[in-house]
Structure 1
Amino acid sequence: MPHELAVGDVYLSPLVPVFSIALLGAWGTTALLNRLRLSRYIVFPSTTFIALMVLYIVLIDIFWIQI
């Protein structure tokens, strides 16, 4: 069962680190796509960034967070 993460006296939702890791992963993937010049084939870059974040969140939930 999910529970809060305690950092000092502050309680955080488990979604905060998952969201942070997904954000960093999406930024890294976007930077890689820009470096390889594959981003020019993407029609809606902002929607693709959000889709990458959702994909990373789902993958972290499936493979890393075991309930």
Structure 2
Amino acid sequence: METISFEVEPEIARAYRNLSPTERQKIQIVLNIWLKQIINKSPIELDELIQRMQNRTNEHNHIPETTKIDAR
């Protein structure tokens, strides 16, 4: 395994830091599987996935309009 880093929202970082080592490991396993699935998709499928996630998130008002993802 290798370590990578990427930015997340502050509340996600705080919640992750407060997890037990066992819970962190579970999340790392899930993210590893999820990232592998995303990376193996074609760029068109990935853009569509990002758009769907953005639409779903915006519908539920989880992120402000200014933080929309540019899938290009």
Class of the TM-score when normalised by the shorter of the 2 chains: 0.3 to 0.5
User: Relative contact order, CA 8 A, sep 6+: which one is greater?
Assistant: 1
TM-score calculated relative to the size of structure 1: 0.36
TM-score calculated relative to the size of structure 2: 0.34
Larger Rg: 1
